Amino acid sequence: MPDEEKAKWENSIAGAVAGFSTVAVLHPLDVVRTRFQVSDGRGCSCPLYKNTAHAIYSIARTEGLKGLYAGFYTSVFGSTVSWGLYFFFYSRAKDRYVRYSNQPLSPGHHLASAAEAGALVCLITNPIWLVKTRLQLQTPLHPSRPYIGFSDAVKTILKEEGWKALYKGIGPGLLLVSHAAIQFCAYEELRKIAIKLKGRGERTASRDPDRLLNSFDYATLGGASKITAILLTYPYQVIRARIQQRPTSSGMPKYMDSWHVVTETARFEGIRGFYRGITSNLLKNVPAASITFVVYENILKLFKAAQSKKEK
């Protein structure tokens, strides 16, 4: 296998392992975030929670560990696939821009690479995330027969709503491409700054700048880039979660489309409605981004070390 092609697969494997590690540790906060996002106080089948701690306590008390890990396997599958595909497409896009420009990549190139990768991943994985959202929203209050698992959910959705239902929320999902693009662009630029600052007076910096950064650096850079992206794009996540809710027992969806979500949320809840669940989202995703980039960068280092040893 050519070295260039091998590097792309190494990026993909590193991304997949990073995604799995993140979900396994922080899934309960994802359940809480999803329930907050759809809790508009108007006929929602989810209980109303005071805050993140109260939500975790209430779910554990009424639904047990199963409630806190609702949709876990679907989330693991989706995150592993998404991160693996994302890093694969992202590295391919960056390589293409490098070949065409023959110059170091600019922030615009990183932004374009991240946007391209995000759009492709969104189109491939939207059905997985729709099922995950619905599994996380299942509570004893919901009148419909609960989905038993991922495959049962897909079969039931296809039977009751048709294949188009699997792509509900694709519009906000594609808009969320900007989230990943902002995150990766911020990460790459912060990474350059960190290397430059730590590389002053280091003779090895020009030969192998990655050796200057450690796991703490990757965690800090990953967390900082994630905060930036969340603050700028969070309303898209709320819109997507609300439109992906399961229809009522009569078959009527609560929201007809994304614009309906926007108008109803603005009318009844104001700007705060678009930021429901942001606390649990930050608590989950900032550490998640840190874990993801630490795992990703260190796995890449292992691949490079193995390749270097092999060449000797």
Interacting residues of 110 by C-beta distance below 8 A, sequence separation 6+: 94, 184, 185, 188, 189
Query: What's the structural domain count of the chain?
Result: 1
Q: What is the mean pLDDT of residues 56-66?
A: 90
User: What pLDDT band is residue 126 in, cutting at 50, 70 and 90?
Assistant: very high
User: What pLDDT band is residue 251 in, cutting at 50, 70 and 90?
Assistant: confident
* Contact by Cβ (8 Å): 263, 177: no
* Per-residue confidence (pLDDT) for residue 311, from 0 to 100: 67
| Cα–Cα–Cα angle for 299, 91, 295, rounded to 5 degrees | 20
Listed in order, strand segments (DSSP E) in the chain are: none
| Cα–Cα–Cα angle for 243, 258, 137, rounded to 5 degrees | 15
The domain that holds 256 is classified in CATH as 1.50.40.10
* Per-residue confidence (pLDDT) for residue 144, from 0 to 100: 74
Chain segment 177-205, per-residue pLDDT in tens: 788 778 888 898 898 888 888 877 565 54
Cα–Cα distance for residue pair 147/156, rounded to 1 Å: 8
User: What pLDDT band is residue 267 in, cutting at 50, 70 and 90?
Assistant: very high
Average pLDDT, the chain: 84
Is the pLDDT reported for residue 113 higher than 80?
yes
Interacting residues of 67 by C-beta distance below 8 A, sequence separation 6+: 31, 59, 60, 139
pTM: 0.74
Range of the domain at 127: 3-311
Could you tell me where the DSSP H helices lie in 102-214? Answer: 107-136, 150-160, 170-175, 177-198
